[in-house]
Amino acid sequence: MDNHKYISQVNMIGYHGQHALKNAKVLCIGAGSFGSLVISFLAAAGVENLGIIDGEIINAGNLNNQIIYTENDIGKYKVDALKKHLIKLNSASKITAYPYNIDVHNAKHLIHRYDFIVDCNDNFIATYLISDICNSEGKNLVSASVHGFSGEVMTFIAPQTCYRCLFPKVKNILNRRRDMLYSSAAIIASTQANEVIKLITNLKPIQSHMINIDSVLNKMSSYNIAPDTACINHHHEHAANINSNKSILSSTYIKYSDIPHLVNKTNNVIVINMLKCEDKEKLSSHFYPQSSVKIITYDNNIQPIANIQKNHQLIKQDDNIIIVCNFGTKSKILGQMFCNNGYKNVFYTKYAEFG
């Protein structure tokens, strides 16, 4: 190992950390906007055993948001062009290119061969498959997504948590590619690579968490991910051990139709309305004539807690917080954000089951 080449980071992670990077086996799933950058960062950091899987062929439309590739690469498999780039970046790299997509037939075999998994693919079905297999194989997973100027990086420590703990049901759409600015995607990709490096070098005690990044507001927030004991991946078997080491508060799911009962029996109720525009007014008309109930209305984007506190200055630690969104996903994530900031009485629900 050429320690002089890596001297700037060896001074921070030590020779043992650099040795861990050299010997780690990392599989990157997807060679697009995220994957091509993440795996480049890892190769440059000294990760020599890398696998990259993607069945797509480079076209002209890729070049503005996947700058690793050039016009000369059009018509080639992404993994083949990326492999050549990585070897130029680090001649010691041992790259295995898989020119096909991950699926139910090859996923378990591929994931089993590697120590750490990086999910950079743009297909929801594949993301659930990857997460499920990582959980069963005991492989730590770093996943990411981007939408517009914002995005999330999620680190799932197996078998504590998985993707289903945040998003229990497979989304109806197969493709999660959205409009984005490539510079924002690059911020997400560098954060994703950084999370992988921290896992490999054991830089800090890691538990499952999500990093939320807003490149317009220049805000980055990190939130623990609590295990969902109702998850089909049986996290209830490990939740007791997790909580005995460090208390992780989690929000409680309630049915939308049960909100009036909760409102009637408790004081200091705060309702956060994250419904879509066409449904926002229905929330007040259904259940909340009580003057004691404070309703905070937001658009249906996830809002950092700091913004809510700054804008409203009315959410106290002992308040009963009910978060409502259309399908229960964003309300659950925001609920976990509150819990990670010390709020104990947090409930989330979905309007879709009522409307």
Report residue 316 as tokens.
């106290």
Rounded to the nearest 5 percent, the helix, strand and coil shares of the chain are 40, 20, 40
CB burial readout 195-228, b (16+ within 10 A) else e = bbbbbbbeeeeeebbbbbbbbeeeeebebbbbbb
CB of 338 within 8 A of CB of 312? no
What's the CA gap between 86 and 331, in Å, rounded?
40
Side-by-side strand order, sheet with 219-224? 94-98, 49-53, 25-29, 116-119, 140-147, 150-156, 209-214, 219-224
Helix (H, G, I), strand (E, B) or coil at 12: helix
pLDDT tens per residue across span 19-46: 999 999 999 999 999 999 999 999 999 9
Taken as a whole, the chain contains a residue count of 355
Any idea what the Cα angle at residue 274 is, between residues 271 and 280, rounded to 5°?
Answer: 90
Least confident of 48-62, 63-77, 180-194, 280-294: 280-294
Amino acid (one-letter) located at 37: L
Give the residue, 267 or 34, on which the prediction is more confident. Answer: 34
Q: In the chain, which residue ranges form alpha helices assigned H by DSSP?
A: 7-23, 33-45, 78-89, 107-112, 124-137, 163-166, 182-201, 236-245, 259-265, 280-287, 305-312, 329-340
What percent of the chain lies above the pLDDT cut of 90? 43
pLDDT tens per residue across span 172-201: 554 555 677 888 889 999 999 999 999 999
- The pLDDT score that the predictor gives to residue 236 is 56
Torsion of CA 162, 164, 170, 174, to 10 degrees: -30
pLDDT above 70 for 100: yes
Q: DSSP per residue over 298-328, as a string? A: --SS---HHHHHHHH----TTSEEEEEESSS
